[in-house]
Each structure stands twice: as C-alpha cells, then as structure tokens.
C-alpha cells in the first residue's frame, strides 16, 4: 500500500473510533518540523548548505495528540536525495505515519555566465560562481574560478551549466622527470617524501613516480598544486 494511503487510512480509523472523538489532533506542522530536525541530526557533515523538505501530509489526516513520538529512517537512510521517515506514536495513543523527505545539498559551483564554444580559452567574464544542488552532481564539478581561468574548453557549454573538469583541456600539472612531493594522509597523519614523476599528469589523473630515497615506484593522484597524493 502506498505510504500516503496507509497514513490516511490510519487517520480515518482513529477519526471513526469513539476514543478519538474528543482527542486533540497532533499538529501536522509540528510533526513535519520534527521529521526535518531528525533527518538533519542524522546527516553527516558535508560542505555546503543542507536543505531538507518533508512532504506535506494529507489535510484530511487526523492524528491524536502524541507525547511520545519515535522517529526512524525507513531502510538504510543513506540516500543522498530522498529518504522516508517512520513516525510512530507510543503514548497516549498508538499510530504510525510514513513521511517522504527530499534532501538537497546546496554549494557554490562554477557555471557559464554565457554560451561558451569548444576551443574557447576561459576568462573571468565567462564564469560566475552560483549556489546549486550538488546532491547528485556529476564527479569533477568545479567550485572556483581558479580551477578554470586560462583553461581551454574541449566542448561547448550552454549558459548556466555547471563546469566539470572533463569539459576542460587541462594542462599538465606534473611533467615527466619533474621532482614531486609524494604525500600520504590518513586520520590526521601526513607523510611526505621526495620523488620523480615517471609520466606527465593532469590534476585528477593517476600517474607513476619513483621515491627518490627508496627507489620504489608508486602511483598517486595528481593534485592541482603539483603534489602527488599516494593512497594510504
């Protein structure tokens, strides 16, 4: 049965019962606010502004006033854009409703301020930073002008479209034979070593490098600052 239909049925049953006739109905606004607060409390910290919106309940739904509400996420609760919250009243009445919730993570991203052509070299006037929902944004979405100014587009981009790294003909951040910093980080621990790049590499690519001291060849992720991040 559809969750909203189930919730409506529960409300109708209560409305029809003699015990519920004199009951004070629980505020829909209070219930939805509690749902949104609950989802926010269960969400992990993420860069950006989290927007949570619980779906309104059917206006015909009547739920007796509850002083002991228990909330839980239906399923794993790990969805990035949508969840369903179970709201259960344990006292003085007993009822259950299911509330769908929409989640958006709003963060600054780099977008085209006007139509841009493939092969065009980007200037500050071509770009603007705007807040967008990045909950389901493609990997590689850019967030600042510094990541794109001076780079050449390998595809046309419509005005208002968020720029991604794969839209740019990125210049090599590391060149073969170049001395590079090999960096490994985990749980606040940062280890560094000197190395020599064995390949050219753009930011976001994995390349090989040789540890200058041990001679061991490792693979790492090229950073925009020219470091090579080694999985650790």
pLDDT for the residue numbered 23: 57
Question: Which residue(s) pair with 68 in the sheet?
Answer: 91
Asked whether residue 191 is assigned to any structural domain, the reply reads: yes
Asked whether residue 37 is assigned to any structural domain, the reply reads: yes
The 10s digit of each residue's pLDDT in 199-218 is 999 888 899 999 999 999 99
- What are the residue ranges of helices labelled H in 20-100? 28-42
Asked whether residue 174 is assigned to any structural domain, the reply reads: no
Mean pLDDT of 148-167: 92
- Looking at the structure, tell me whether residues 80 and 142 fall in a common domain: no
- Looking at the structure, tell me whether residues 99 and 10 fall in a common domain: yes
- Looking at the structure, tell me whether residues 199 and 210 fall in a common domain: yes
- Looking at the structure, tell me whether residues 129 and 80 fall in a common domain: no
- Domain boundaries, position 215: 179-229
CATH number at residue 198: 2.30.30.760
Cα dihedral 202, 203, 207, 209 sign: positive
pLDDT for the residue numbered 43: 83
Mean pLDDT of 139-162: 90
pLDDT for the residue numbered 19: 45
- Looking at the structure, tell me whether residues 69 and 118 fall in a common domain: no
- Looking at the structure, tell me whether residues 26 and 38 fall in a common domain: yes
Asked whether residue 40 is assigned to any structural domain, the reply reads: yes
- Looking at the structure, tell me whether residues 9 and 58 fall in a common domain: yes
- Looking at the structure, tell me whether residues 12 and 94 fall in a common domain: yes
Average per-residue pLDDT for the chain:
86
Give the total number of structural domains in the chain: 3
Across 17-21, 65-69, 119-123, least confident range? 17-21
- Looking at the structure, tell me whether residues 66 and 153 fall in a common domain: no
- Looking at the structure, tell me whether residues 100 and 111 fall in a common domain: no
All residues at 6 or more sequence positions from 115 whose CB lies less than 8 Å from its CB, including other chains: 156, 157, 158, 159
- Looking at the structure, tell me whether residues 147 and 129 fall in a common domain: yes
Asked whether residue 7 is assigned to any structural domain, the reply reads: yes
DSSP character for 126? G
């Amino acid at each position: 049965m559809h969750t909203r239909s189930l919730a409506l049925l529960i409300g109708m049953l209560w409305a029809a019962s003699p015990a519920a006739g004199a009951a004070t109905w629980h505020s829909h606004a209070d219930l939805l606010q509690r749902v949104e607060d609950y989802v926010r409390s269960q969400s992990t910290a993420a860069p950006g502004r989290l927007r949570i919106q619980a779906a309104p309940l059917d206006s015909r739904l009547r739920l007796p006033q509850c002083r002991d509400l228990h909330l839980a996420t239906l399923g794993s609760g790990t969805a990035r854009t949508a969840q369903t919250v179970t709201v259960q009243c344990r006292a003085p009445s007993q009822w259950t409703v299911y509330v769908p919730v929409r989640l958006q993570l709003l963060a600054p991203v780099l977008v085209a301020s006007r139509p841009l052509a493939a092969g065009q070299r980007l200037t500050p006037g071509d770009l603007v930073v705007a807040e967008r929902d990045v909950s389901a944004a493609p990997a590689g979405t850019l967030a600042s002008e510094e990541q794109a100014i001076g780079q050449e587009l390998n595809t046309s981009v419509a005005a208002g479209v968020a720029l991604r790294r794969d839209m740019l003909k990125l210049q090599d951040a590391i060149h073969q034979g170049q001395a590079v910093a090999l960096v490994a980080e985990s749980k606040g621990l940062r280890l560094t070593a000197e190395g020599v790049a064995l390949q050219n590499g753009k930011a976001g690519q994995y390349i090989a490098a040789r540890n200058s001291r041990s001679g061991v060849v490792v693979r790492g992720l090229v950073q925009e600052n020219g470091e090579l991040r080694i999985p650790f």
